[in-house]
Structure 1
């Protein structure tokens, strides 16, 4: 329930009593309906868009008429995820979840390769093992459209205000975020957050100590020592591995552009395009590895970041492309896999191909 002293209302996900209102706003959002028309009826949307719009709206009202709670939304998302996985994956596996307590809230600190699929895959594993799904940290840079904000907050996402201007506003935003994460965990709600801001486009999964300092702002406010407060958060490192990254060429192009011209100008809706490509693009196999709860005392954010990195590196599932790119012999590498990877590289300019190869090689070389 939202109350007058709801200090988190600007950043938190929607509660049960806000679900119906959010769904009504989405259905009335012209850009949302237009996006559906372009996606489902690309040839008809231009000329007959005005005719199809009321039909789409009626369809959505009927389809979502029974969606009244956050749990109902999660069930709908799980059905959508099943369709996505069936069409874009050869299979999803996971390890380590059986070591976690379904009645305990955890702070899942994950490597970050795909904007939407990373938290979605963690949730998919949890949902299927009857664990509660997580609340998802999402940067406000992705919330360019009102309908996107509505959809994300319906799907248990909370907002990380990266666009805060000035030191005072930034500190206030970070303090509120830190407080919200602790509040969520203490009320039995697990959290998913990436180990650093932005995806690891070069394939190097590294935890930014600044994320851990952000967690600890609430600990400092409570005057708790860093090791004690961090142990109370139940941090679990998560390693997500995609056999094929649908956004790999786009990432390699961006890194090549930065390398050669010193900068890269991102398009206005490039993040949204990356989200769509990550969802619908072919991923082959996906593996999600849940690590051990970090209970040992680490005195500094840097030491704790090293432990998270150690677990993510150790638990990262390598696929043939990783071994091939790194030049490492492995029984999973067949002539067919080699040819497949060579075909991918040969379709790209040399500079871009070299970056893409390094991207796949990095996790294998790091493991060594």
Structure 2
């Protein structure tokens, strides 16, 4: 796999030296200390950092393969789910074959959690864990790149320009196809570049065009290629978004001033906040593999959107936000149990959510509410279109 060396995840023979590099990385040690102990760890560096390093070295001792790394990651993921969610539910996997490799394309709400919850779902249901597409814009620190590539992440070179970008995307497309058809390893990639910070999920046809760069046009039609890739749309919904305040601030700045200047390493901060923040109920819905005739990337994007909207599970926070914004609960849409939504017994949830919104600056609140309410509006629009 030499042709993919610069973008692929790490192989087994690279695991031990990368782990050794990580446990000696001062920035990584500081990041772990901060995640575990909060801001006060800085005043206790001489005591805390050696302890953190010792614990990390003990945890990775004897780990020498990617599978062992993922087993460790899975244990952390299970712990995170227990601590930060009220429940994590899954639907649709019963229609898929654990022996098949799929290209999972999901909506994109959280930088790290979207693929993490897909992995959580598949790993608890007898499927192989996915290889994860991650933009090089997130790899602002060497230890972040190491961590991601140890966890079966491969790099999307968004920073490339001109001819270099075209070459990078062709390589990426070949790698995705190689993973599905040769390595038989499933892939996760987001439906769009960047998170849907306003809650409006939409597949970018450009993403499909990139994937289709590996089509053998002399040997297969566009539809045949899409069918071979076994694309499965995935809808991920969070009852609470740990980054809703930060997203609302960005949306407000863009709406008011026309732009938003992202801070240095802000994405890394968002990753940490997403992992540690309360998410309440999370649901992961797997659709069915796309099969049939497709004329172009727009047709494929529309088919993905159709399944994501159809399978998206709404939570009480979606309905409550809609009521706060529009004065009433929506009609004609359903709860996570596919039954008409009822506020009965959820008064405490409504109060807690209102308190969460009220804690934000007043000018940010409409944007935060939109993050939760917009999926309902999009679903209703789809229903109106038939």
Task: Say if 2:69 and 2:151, in contact at 8 Å, map to a contact too.
Answer: yes
CA distance in 2, matches of 1:43, 1:178: 42
| Structure 2 CA distance for partners of 1:221 and 1:178, relative to 1, 3 Å | farther
Task: Kindly state the Cα deviation for residue 222 of structure 1 after the two structures are TM-superposed.
Answer: 6.0
| Structure 2 CA distance for partners of 1:47 and 1:343, relative to 1, 3 Å | closer
- 2:364: which partner in 1? 352
Task: Kindly state the Cα deviation for residue 33 of structure 1 after the two structures are TM-superposed.
Answer: 1.5
- 2:241: which partner in 1? 245
Task: Kindly state the Cα deviation for residue 331 of structure 1 after the two structures are TM-superposed.
Answer: 3.5
| Structure 2 CA distance for partners of 1:233 and 1:268, relative to 1, 3 Å | same
Match of 2:215, SS state, is helix
Task: Say if 1:319 and 1:332, in contact at 8 Å, map to a contact too.
Answer: no
Superposed, which structure 2 residues align to 1:1-368 within 5 Å?
A: 6-41=2-37, 45-165=41-161, 167-186=162-181, 187-220=183-216, 224-326=220-322, 327-328=329-330, 330-333=340-343, 334-368=346-380
Task: Say if 1:37 and 1:49, in contact at 8 Å, map to a contact too.
Answer: no
Task: Kindly state the Cα deviation for residue 348 of structure 1 after the two structures are TM-superposed.
Answer: 2.9
Deviations 1:154-177 (CA, angstroms, capped at 9, x unpaired): 000000000112x11001100000
Identify unmatched segments of 5+ residues in structure 1. none
Q: Which runs of 4+ in 1 moved over 6 A?
A: none
Deviations 1:182-229 (CA, angstroms, capped at 9, x unpaired): 000012100000000000011110000000000110105665321111
> Which 10-residue stretch deviates more, 65-74 or 130-139?
65-74
> Which 10-residue stretch deviates more, 104-113 or 225-234?
225-234
Task: Say if 1:140 and 1:160, in contact at 8 Å, map to a contact too.
Answer: yes
Match of 1:7, SS state, is helix
Match of 2:310, SS state, is helix
Task: Kindly state the Cα deviation for residue 307 of structure 1 after the two structures are TM-superposed.
Answer: 0.7
> Could you state the TM-score of these two structures normalised by the residue count of structure 2?
0.90
Deviations 1:93-141 (CA, angstroms, capped at 9, x unpaired): 0000011101100000000001111000000011111210000000000
> Could you state the TM-score of these two structures normalised by the residue count of structure 1?
0.94
CA distance in 2, matches of 1:148, 1:106: 26
CA distance in 2, matches of 1:357, 1:36: 32
Identify unmatched segments of 5+ residues in structure 2. 323-328, 332-339, 381-386
CA distance in 1, matches of 2:273, 2:58: 28
CA distance in 1, matches of 2:29, 2:66: 22
Aligned residues: 363
CA distance in 2, matches of 1:297, 1:344: 46
